[in-house]
Amino acid sequence: MSPPDATRVLQVTFTVPADHPSLPGHFPGAPVVPGVVVLAELLAQLPAPTVGARRLAWVKFLRPLLPGQEASATLTATPAGWRFTVTHGATELVQGLVAS
C-alpha cells in the first residue's frame, strides 16, 4: 500500500443512533457504542488503498462514545499511515494509527 500524501488532513463528524443494531446487549441499561463501530466509521472515510489491505498499527480507547453523541474525527496523513483522533466536544475518546 502506498503511504498517504503527507499534506492531507480529513475531518469528519458522525453520530451512532440509539437504535443502531450493535447496541442491544452492549451494555443493557447503560449502552456504549462498540469500538469496532467507531473504527468502521473512521475507515469508511479514508481513500481506498492502492495495494493490500489496511492494518491498525495501534488503537487506544480512552473514553466511551455514547449512542446519539456527535463524534468528531481528525485523520492526518503521515509517512507511517493515517494518524487519527476521535473526540466528543473537548473530550478525546480514541486515538490510533492506520498503517500504510
Given CA atoms 77, 83, 84, 90 in this order, what sign does their dihedral have?
Answer: negative
Can you say how many angstroms the Cα of residue 74 is from the centroid of all Cα atoms in its chain?
A: 9
Q: Which residues of 14-28 are buried (b: 16+ CB within 10 A; e: fewer)?
A: bebeeebeebeeeee
The residue extents of the domains of the chain are 9-99
Radius of gyration of the chain (CA): 14
Residue by residue, DSSP assigns 10-79 as: EEEEEE--TT-TT-TTSSTTS----HHHHHHHHHTTSPPPSSS--EEEEEEE-SPPPTT-EEEEEEEEET
Decide which of 2 and 64 is more confident: 64
Examine the pLDDT at 100 and tell me if it is beyond 90.
no
For the domain 9-99, what is the CATH code? 3.10.129.10
In this prediction, residue 1 has a pLDDT band, given cuts at 50, 70 and 90, of: very low
Give the residue carrying C-alpha cell 488503537. 59
Q: Are 91 and 63 in contact (CB under 8 A)?
A: yes
Residue 10: which of 45, 48, 49 has the closest Cα?
45
pLDDT, one tens digit per residue, over 4-50 is: 555 689 999 999 999 999 998 888 889 999 999 999 999 888 887 75
